[in-house]
């Protein structure tokens, strides 16, 4: 049967399991949502019953515009209650995450959500590059696997170092905020727009520029 992305996302929001695990759970249970929750719990892949596993269906959509309107971000962050969505700590968190996205240009919330075709394309490029560099054929897979893992961490939001505090990842900042607020929070989705996208600029330079602008506010 066909399993929709929306249903997979809903299961992920409830259980905090990975996207692929949620899809497997739904497939294994013929799309039965509650049975899929139990399937994940039996496999030890769900944190249901804990803060990070509770349903977060409230929250807010926030926007961040950098500079003279050159870069914009729309971000949806969910909370369990609309009361928390009005909390100053929650608002500060969403603003920080939107600013971070503007600076680092991730392409997915987590590595589980990365398009498999995109990963395959990146692997092909890295494999060809390794061969051109004269790497031994029997070592290629191991070398490229390591490079793919690093690339996925670079482009997945939750695995990126937080621009305002590079000592922690966005996932760490999320956990800290959940602990402080006392409710589950889910970074659900985002869209990043850049004027004249395709014109290269060093990520590090842009991150510093955005952080400086944030500090001046």
Q: Are residues 163 and 143 in the same domain?
A: no
Whole-prediction pTM: 0.62
- CA 122 vs CA 129, 142, 144, 152, 199: distances in Å: 11, 15, 10, 10, 21
Q: How many domains does the chain have?
A: 3
| Structural domain boundaries, residue 142 | 115-153
The pLDDT of residue 50 is 53
Tell me, yes or no, whether 170 and 188 share the same domain. Answer: yes
What integer best gives the mean pLDDT of the chain? 82
- Residue 48 has a pLDDT of 43
Task: Judge if 102 and 197 occupy the same domain.
Answer: yes
- 169 and 196 fall within a common domain: yes
Considering the domain architecture, whether residues 19 and 120 belong to the same structural domain is answered as: no
DSSP state of 112: G
Q: What are phi and psi of 189, to 5 degrees?
A: -165, 165
Q: Is the pLDDT at 208 greater than 90, yes or no? A: no
* Span 127-163, pLDDT tens digits: 788 777 777 777 777 877 888 888 888 899 999 999 9
41-92 pLDDT, tens digit per residue, is 777 666 544 555 566 768 899 999 987 788 999 999 998 888 888 889 999 9
Task: Provide the CATH number for the domain around residue 18.
Answer: 1.10.8.10
């Amino acid at each position: 049967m066909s399993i929709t992305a929306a249903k997979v996302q809903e299961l992920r929001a409830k259980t905090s399991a990975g996207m692929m695990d949620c899809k497997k759970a739904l497939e294994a249970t013929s799309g039965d949502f509650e049975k899929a929750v139990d399937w994940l719990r039996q496999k030890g892949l769900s944190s249901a019953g804990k803060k990070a596993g509770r349903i977060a269906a409230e929250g807010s959509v926030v926007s961040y515009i950098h500079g003279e309107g050159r870069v914009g971000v729309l971000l949806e962050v969910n909370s369990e209650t609309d009361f928390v969505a009005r909390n100053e700590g929650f608002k500060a968190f969403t603003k920080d995450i939107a600013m971070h996205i503007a600076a680092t240009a991730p392409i997915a919330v987590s590595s589980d959500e990365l398009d498999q075709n995109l990963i395959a394309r990146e692997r092909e490029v890295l494999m060809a590059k390794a061969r051109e560099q004269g790497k031994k054929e029997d070592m290629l897979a191991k070398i490229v696997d390591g490079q793919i893992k690093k690339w996925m961490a670079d482009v997945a939001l939750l695995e990126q170092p937080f621009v305002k505090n590079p000592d922690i990842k966005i996932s760490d900042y999320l956990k800290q905020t959940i602990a402080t607020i006392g409710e589950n929070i889910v970074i659900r989705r985002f869209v990043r727009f850049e004027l004249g996208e395709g014109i290269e600029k060093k990520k590090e330079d842009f991150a510093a520029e955005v952080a400086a602008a944030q500090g001046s506010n």
